[in-house]
Amino acid sequence: MKKLIAATLVIISLPVATANAADLNKVTTKALAIQPVPCKHPKIDVIENPQGGALGLAYIEECRVEIKASHVRDDSNAYVCSTLVHEFTHLTGATFPENKSDPYHSSNPANWMYGQLVFHPKCGTSDQKRLNLEAEKERHEIIITDKTESIGELRESAKEYRKCRRQLHCRRGIKRIKQRIKKAKKQIAILQVRLTTIQAELQA
Ligand SMILES: [Zn+2]
């Protein structure tokens, strides 16, 4: 008789537009480093419809985890890693006696052993954070494009002033433009530094 120990993991809402097919071997290695299991290497079965609509189920006596195929196919590595860390913790036989209605899960909604999926911070950037970073990246890229265009326009108008550079107001005009170009370049540089950080976080 197979003993099913893990209860259902239910997702309230799936993040959109972040789907990366999870590289299951890589993710499994990462999850095992975060949460080692007492049996040597757990078997991971990817199946279409795990019992009870769960994302993952742990079978402690078989040292085996079932994971939902669409979860592996459609969701980010960080997401799948969090599910595996949760299931591997079940394989250790962890219990939460204070949670009388469901002693296999923590009653703390911030704990990765809560009955619904909680991102494990060591699994990487969460899908929600990823969405925010993508949006921020897009905003910065738009501003950089705008500023680059306006530098081009400023350079054009500087050309006009150069034609009359003997006159004071034209020399002042060139000076003003140079200052504006300098300011725009500085702003672009700041945004580019931030974009590099965002890129690194998205790849984490
Ligand atoms: Zn569970």
If you measure from the C-alpha of residue 201 to the centroid of ligand 1, how many angstroms do you get, rounded to a whole number?
A: 28
* CA 6 to ligand 1 center in whole angstroms: 5
Which candidate, 118, 133, 180, 172, places its Cα nearest to that of 155?
Answer: 180
Q: Summarize pLDDT for 48-58 with one digit per residue, the tens.
A: 999 888 999 99
For residue 86, how far is its CA from the centre of ligand 1 (angstroms)?
6
The Å distance, Cα 12 to ligand 1 centre, comes to 15
Ligand 1 centroid, distance to 51 Cα (angstroms)? 12
| 3 state DSSP class of 44 | strand
How many Å lie between the centroid of ligand 1 and the Cα of residue 89?
Answer: 8
Q: What would the pLDDT profile of 127-173 be if each residue is shown by its tens digit?
A: 788 889 999 999 999 999 999 999 999 999 999 999 998 999 999 99
Question: What is the distance in A from the centroid of ligand 1 to the CA of 83?
Answer: 9
Q: Is 11-123 a CATH 3.40.390.10 domain?
A: yes
Dihedral pair phi/psi, residue 63, rounded to 5°: 50, 50
Each domain of the chain, given as residue ranges in start order, spans: 11-123, 128-203
What tens digit of pLDDT does each residue of 24-49 get? 999 999 999 999 999 988 999 999 99
Ligand 1 centroid, distance to 82 Cα (angstroms):
11
List the alpha helices (DSSP H) in the chain: 24-34, 69-74, 77-91, 127-163, 168-203
pTM of the full structure? 0.66
